[in-house]
Structure 1
Amino acid sequence: MRGDITIQRLNADAPSAEIVACWTFEAWGHLHPGLTKEQAIARLKAECGHAGVPTIFVALSEETPVGTASLIVDDMSIRRDLTPWLASVFVVPEWRGQGIASALVHRVEVEAAENGIERFYLYTPDQQALYRRLGWQDVESLEYRGENVTVMSRQLGL
């Protein structure tokens, strides 16, 4: 990862909050039929917590946002028994391949551990190899909102 990347907690009033919301809306808005961009922005701002769940992190190059990841209560309506979730891991395409996603995932793991969370979850249609490399384990494969996805978990403190 480039040395000039920093990872910070995202505040709802930060200039980059709307940028991050637009990234996640464009990447995953299709999974939430009827959700407007304005609703997505409001939802993201509501998840900008001060610690624990929910919290959103942003990777910055100087003041420019280049990636994001979240720790949220619920990311999969059909598995409400599982909580909390790593969600919305996204890196701007031209910044990919530099370890930013891994650094964001690690930062969310630290946040979870610091707040007493022993296990948390994610789902992905296509990034299983990345998460397995980072210590995540498969829980199940299923179809969710028209996509074949893998639900994974991470045990912390091992």
Structure 2
Amino acid sequence: MGIEIAYLADHPEYIQTCASWIYGLWGSQSGGTYERALSKFTDGANKEALPITFLALHDSKPAGTVSVWNTEASRPDLTPWLSALYVHPFHRNKGISLRLIERLIAEAYRLEIKELFLVTEKAKALYERFCWTEVEPMATPYGEATLMKKQLE
């Protein structure tokens, strides 16, 4: 399949690509700005401390992304977060999201993170495959969602 999961820090030429994907999918619909998305991914081009972003590459071209961020606007009291999971439509249904999630969880263990949080509108079953549990229902700018948590201890 030719899929590699890499640190965005090793491929900074794709920072703008990731920012465009995430701004286009979520930020543009929730009052965000492209500049804010760009800042998030610029900060996430890191390997040693949060935030950290991973990139799925298919034959050296960007196919998807996922990040672990310190905060999310929806619940700033909880930290850290699996955020911005995105797979380009050309590469969906190939297991890329699973590989991105696996890599992010492995990184959380490496960094000795004890728990992770996320919010999902439609992918609850995907995360349950990785033993995430529902914390509570919540509303987002995109509709009804589920706040989920993964214990890493």
TM-score (norm 1): 0.89
Secondary structure at 1:15's aligned position in 2?
A: helix
Residue equivalent to 2:145: 149
From 53, 62, 87, the equivalent of 1:65 is 62
Query: How far apart are the structure 2 equivalents of 1:38 and 1:72?
Result: 17
2:113 counterpart SS class: coil
Structure 1 residue 32: deviation in Å?
3.8
Tell me whether 60-69 or 138-147 shows the greater mean CA deviation.
138-147
> 1:80 maps to what in 2?
76
Aligned to 1:137: 133
Identity %: 31
Identify which of 107, 111, 117 aligns with 1:111. 107
Unaligned 5+ runs, structure 2: none
Count of residue pairs the alignment pairs up: 153
TM-superposed CA distance for 1:53, in Å, is: 1.4
Match of 1:5 in 2: 3
1:43-102 CA-partner distances (Å, limit 9, x unpaired): 321222222411000000121000000000012x34222100000000011211111001
Aligned equivalent of 2:90: 94
Flag the 1:13–1:129 CA change in 2: closer, same or farther, 3 A. closer
Is 2:9–2:44's contact at 8 Å kept on the other side of the alignment?
Answer: no
Query: What RMSD over aligned residues (CA atoms) do the two structures have, in Å?
Result: 1.7
Q: Matched residues in 1 for 2:115 and 2:132: separation? A: 10
Residue equivalent to 2:117: 121
Unpaired runs of at least 5, structure 1: none
Amino acid in structure 2 at the alignment position of 1:29? G
Do 1:67 and 1:89's aligned partners in 2 also have CA atoms closer than 8 Å? yes
- What are the equivalent positions in structure 2 for 1:35-54 lying under 5 Å apart? 35-54=32-51
TM-score, with length taken from structure 2: 0.92
SS at match of 2:134: strand
The C-alpha deviation readout for 1:10-48, integer Å capped at 9, x for no partner, is 028721111111001111113541x33233223321222
1:132 Cα deviation after fit? 0.7
Match of 1:30 in 2: 28
Is the 8 Å Cα contact of residues 52 and 112 (structure 1) preserved in structure 2?
A: no
The CA distance in 2 between the partners of 1:47 and 1:64, in whole Å, is: 19
